[in-house]
Amino acid sequence: MKQPLYKRVLLKLSGEALMGNQGFGIDPDMIKYVADEIRSVMDIGVQTAIVVGGGNIFRGIAASSFGMDRTSADHMGMLATVINSIALSDALERKGVQTRVQTAISMHEVAEPFIVRRAVRHLEKGRVVIFAAGTGSPYFTTDTAAALRAQEIHAEILLKATKVDGIYDADPVKNSQAQFIKTISYMEVLERQLKVMDMTAISLAMDNQLPLAIFNLHHPGNIRKVVCGEDVGTRISN
């Protein structure tokens, strides 16, 4: 069995990842699959934190485009991430993985408040920590929240699980000639405005030398392969 390359990682999941083939909400089969994938990483002793989006339930930017106040829309998006985080926590607990949900906005009855030292302690005790409600501030995406939390807990790499195999120079769904990019620098992602993560998240990762791995969530075993240093997806670094 391959040994893990990293001791502590942060995994970013989009809300859409939990939808499966549905148009909305949470697909029970998909969330079980994701829980199995995360458990396979825990089984080899990798401390794992997760940031999950809310796009399967509510997307702040989309709502603000039809006239809703952006701050209100983003607060609704944060609450959507809490729903997803509790669902993922439940799926993991049923697989025998201990979890804690920490939120950036206080809601003591449902989750712990985000406290860095407490989060690190949970990780050291072998629990998965799921960070909900983004950064707690409007105008920031869950991508930015993932880059921020990864820094705070001293994760060695930020893993972004997507529905494509990595970064392409164009949208592979719309353009069959799109070329796959194996490795790329932060600056090149910013200059070419490649839509892999938002620019704030990329800038934050670049400033702090946080490597990023972009890979396909839908290939079983991919999270574990990336954690073990196998040649999967795209790497963003210096």
- pTM (predicted TM-score): 0.95
**What pLDDT is recorded for position 170?**
86
| Single-letter amino acid, residue 217 | L
The overall average pLDDT reported for the chain is 95
CB-count exposure of residue 108 (10 Å: 0-12, 13-18, 19+): exposed
On the question of pLDDT at 66 being above 90, the answer is: no
Instruction: Determine the Cα–Cα distance for residues 70 and 62; give it in Å rounded to an integer.
Output: 9
**Contact criterion met (CB below 8 Å) for 51 and 145:** yes
Least confident of 18-27, 58-67, 69-78: 58-67
- pLDDT, one tens digit per residue, over 129-172 is 999 999 999 999 999 999 999 999 999 999 999 988 999 998 88
**What pLDDT is recorded for position 234?**
98
What does the CA dihedral 79, 82, 54, 215 come to, rounded to 10 degrees? 160
Average the pLDDT over 62-77 and give the result: 86
Average the pLDDT over 17-34 and give the result: 94
Q: What is the CATH number of domain 8-237?
A: 3.40.1160.10
